[in-house]
Amino acid sequence: MKKTLLYVGLLSLVFLLTGAGCISFGGGNKQTEQLGPAGMFMSVDKGENWKQISLLPSSTGVKNISTVDVYKIFTDPQDPAALYWATPDNGFFYSYDEGASWQQPEGDLKKGPIYSIAVDPENKCGIFVSNGGKILHSDDCNRSWTELYIESRPNVRIASIAINPTVSNQILAALNNGDIIQSLDSGKSWHTLHRLKIELVEIVPDMLQKDIFYLVTKKDGLMRSKDAGDNWVSLKDTMKDYSKANEFRRFVAHPKVPGRLYWISTFGILFSSDSGDSWNSINLITPPGSTHIFGFYVSPKKVDEIYYTATISNRSTFYKSVDGGQNWITSKLPSNQLPSVLYMHPEKDDVLYLGFTKIVQK
């Protein structure tokens, strides 16, 4: 019975982590505490050992935020030391010292869900945040905030924000109902580009190829634009040979290799070398569709060095391959909570970050 109830909790987290909604997990629970901490961890030896990095200094002392869930990690393309930790119900935290310490922004962004954070590629203090109902902007590194866009329709959520890396005044936002909105003046005014009528999760700019954007859907695979969002084509059929590959879990564009994409789905892990025109599967130890994969990243310096976390029933494992998936090394994780986010430092390829989300047993 305990395993069954835990699996129900895991299924609820699947909806959270793949963008279908935000679930408030509530306060303390003895069974939850037995599984270990949530929050952020760091490894300086590629996952061999982990240490907790969930400390928030304040005027009253240092607060431990290891009970806070990690929904996503966002980064600053100009500053490898900057990390933004988005939570499902505690606002967001930011670190400018590679995660050694964290702070929270002023105002209402200390509470509630955070769905997306984007940093201006020309101004590291220019930060755009979606809390679902609003897009807010800070031009002074989180000290003050201005509302740029308010979504008043019930059940419609601003799921993701993306800034054009070559035209920083162009901002695109994906709404969960399928709308794509755009601003060409850094958020002062907005207009609707498309109404796609499919559930959208994330919009991602290609940092290495001009005017290419990717649009992640919940159950309809990946879409791509080659003209900065004006037109979109579906890449769903390019994954048709892989069962349930259109059911999204994670999407990663390689930070250094143009056109190299990774698509993590119910099927498993696919990779593309041509910006999504074709895909190949990465061989995993576990059979396709048998595990939940949320944490995934690839070394910025070595394309064949791959890391992911997999959860089967109530057990999660860390996987590492240095030969593109031909062989795998497994190791234990530092917590039995759900490993939701995995990220590698862009310059220090021994440094990995791992975030956990609490599994609530009822």
| Domain edges within the chain | 1-54+235-362
**Nearest in space to 78 (alpha carbons), one of 347, 295, 353, 349:** 347
pLDDT of residue 319: 97
Structure-block tokens of residue 31:
């069974």
Q: Which two tokens stand for residue 76?
A: 């600053």
Residue 60 DSSP label: T
pTM strictly above 0.75: yes
Instruction: Kindly list the distances between the CA atom of residue 155 and the CA atoms of 20, 133, 175, 176, 177, in Å, as whole numbers in the listed order.
Output: 11, 9, 10, 9, 8
* pLDDT tens-place values along the chain, 362 residues long: 444 444 445 545 555 667 654 333 333 444 555 789 999 999 999 999 999 999 999 888 999 999 999 999 999 999 999 999 999 999 999 999 999 999 999 888 999 999 999 999 999 999 999 999 999 999 999 999 999 999 999 999 999 999 999 998 999 999 999 999 999 999 999 999 999 999 999 999 999 999 999 999 999 999 999 999 999 999 999 999 999 999 999 999 999 999 999 999 999 999 999 999 999 999 999 889 899 999 999 999 999 999 999 998 878 999 999 999 999 999 999 999 999 999 999 999 899 999 999 987 65
Distance CA 249, CA 266 (A): 7
Question: Rounded to 5, what percent of the chain is helix, strand, coil?
Answer: 10, 40, 50
Query: Which residues, other chains included, contact 222 with Cβ-Cβ below 8 Å and sequence gap of 6+?
Result: 214, 215, 216, 234, 235, 236, 239, 251, 261, 263, 276
Q: What is the pLDDT of residue 29?
A: 47
